[in-house]
Amino acid sequence: MTHHDLAVVGTGSGNTIVDERFAGLDVVHVEATRFGGTCLNVGCIPTKMLAHTAEVAESVRTASRFGVDARIDSVRWRDIVDRVYGRLDPIGDDGREYRSEHGTVHIGHARFTGPRAMTVELADGGRTAFTADRIVLATGGRPSVPPPVAESGVPFDTSDTIMRIEELPRRLAVLGGGYIAAELAHVFGGLGCEVTIVEVADTLLGGMDETVAERFTAAARERFDVRTGRSVERVTGGPGEVTLHLDDGTQVHADRLLVAAGRTPNGDRMDLPAGGVATHDDGRVRVDRHGRTTAEGVWALGDISTPHPLKHVANHEAQVVAHNLAHPDDLRAADHDPVPAAVFANPQVGMVGRTGQQCRDEGLAHRIGLHEYADVAYGWALEERRGFCKVITAPDGSLLGAHVLGPQAATLIQQLVQAMALGLTAQRTADVQYWIHPALSEVVENALRDAQ
């Protein structure tokens, strides 16, 4: 059994931990799949590259509303995939090569065998073991698969596999209604697939602000066959022909099934109790605000531990943990207030802070300002009839939350993220700056003024 000064398990945001501050240390990196983690390989970046491609196709398909007649002659799926992964795969390969040149790299599955002791089942079939003075857990999460699918024996895809399939299906069934389901339905629907979405909740994006969920679901119904309030009782079929049997007696027939029904932290695969690492009831590793677990010398970050499974949160936590490892006498705390997020579907969504329903549930006095894209000049240019900006304020004008649905939502929300981070009131945010006319940002200005 070898010994290292530092072990980093997981190479998504975990791969950003070790820099010049750790020069001279004996470091081992362990990765179960591909270097770069979820975001680079099967998450944020490839999905957004594909989502934009689908948006281009949708723009062509709907161009006639602007007086431009256009058509799509073909969708070259293999060329699309090659463009995405031809750029991304080398990044992960370069990361692995760099770490191999400057330390030890194991490709395989790591689990605890004792305090700060691990064994790795290597991808090539071998096994190795090590101890370390300090260990960072950054192994992320994986797609959850409901029992009716997992036990059916019928082939299915998740976000881990769907973006590398050989050809586009004619019919795609999507099980789930969260942001992953929404984005991938947009990708494959935009590229010409017939999409059916099955979601147990009454709306898609059910955990988001109620106005967002309602309007997003209505928009999805115009593009796809959306079955909300329905669960899958069993799955039958085989390759190329899958049937979902729903609880209302109806069936969904598809060429492929995409399961996008949530994610599970990977800690349950690491024998955490053997290492003295405690977890929450939902499987997340317990950490304090500095990133320390319940085991001495063991730290955690990202989706394995955070209540905010987002790449920008994992990156922030990685910066905090790296600092704390390098400066144990000057610990920093992770700041998770406020945490913004976005959904890159059609329509796009941006959000930060509390939802309207959370304010009610918490008994918070609040005021809502809601302005439609259709009521600003650039909204006219876009012929946008669904989009809106919703701002929620406290009686003193401070921002409690903000939600944008429509084109450029992920960018527009950043103005409100900044205002919340700086503690600005709605009135101050609206009054302190010029708002370019007729830019789409005027919808944010007007929502701020509507909330006063």
From the CB of residue 281, how many other CB atoms can be counted at a distance below 10 Å? Answer: 5
Q: Please, what's the largest Cα pairwise distance for the chain? A: 70
- For residues 81 and 445, give the distance between their C-alpha atoms in angstroms, rounded to a whole number: 39
- Collect all residues with Cβ–Cβ distance below 8 Å to 426 and sequence separation of at least 6: 369, 391, 393, 397, 398, 399, 419, 448, 449, 451, 452
Task: Please say if 109 is a catalytic residue.
Answer: no
Q: Tokens 């010409």 sit at which residue?
A: 192
Long-range contacts of 328-332 (CB under 8 A, 24+ apart): 331/290, 332/290
Instruction: Give the HSE-up count for residue 235: Cα atoms under 13 Å, Cβ half-sphere.
Output: 28
Q: Residue 436 and residue 120: Cα distance in Å, rounded?
A: 56
Q: Do the beta carbons of residue 149 and residue 308 sit within 8 Å?
A: no
Helices within 241-373 (DSSP H only): 311-326, 356-361
What is the C-alpha separation between 443 and 19, in angstroms, rounded? 42
Q: How many CB atoms lie within 10 A of CB 335?
A: 12
76, 144, 303, 314, 355 from 279: Cα distances, Å: 45, 18, 13, 18, 28
Cis amide linkage into residue 115, ω under 30° from 0:
no
Judge whether 91 and 41 are in contact, CB under 8 Å: no
Q: Of the residues 3, 52, 327, 437, which is catalytic?
A: 437
Q: What are phi and psi of 129, to 5 degrees?
A: -145, 155
Question: Looking at this protein, which amino acid is placed at residue 197?
Answer: I
Cβ 386 vs Cβ 409: under 8 Å: no
Phi then psi for 114, rounded to 5 degrees? Answer: 175, -175
Ordered DSSP codes for 370-394:
EEEGGGSHHHHHHT-SS-EEEEEE-
Residue in this structure with the two tokens 């944008």, named with its chain if needed: 404
Instruction: Tokens for 444, please give them.
Output: 């944010």
Q: Which residues have a catalytic role annotated?
A: 437
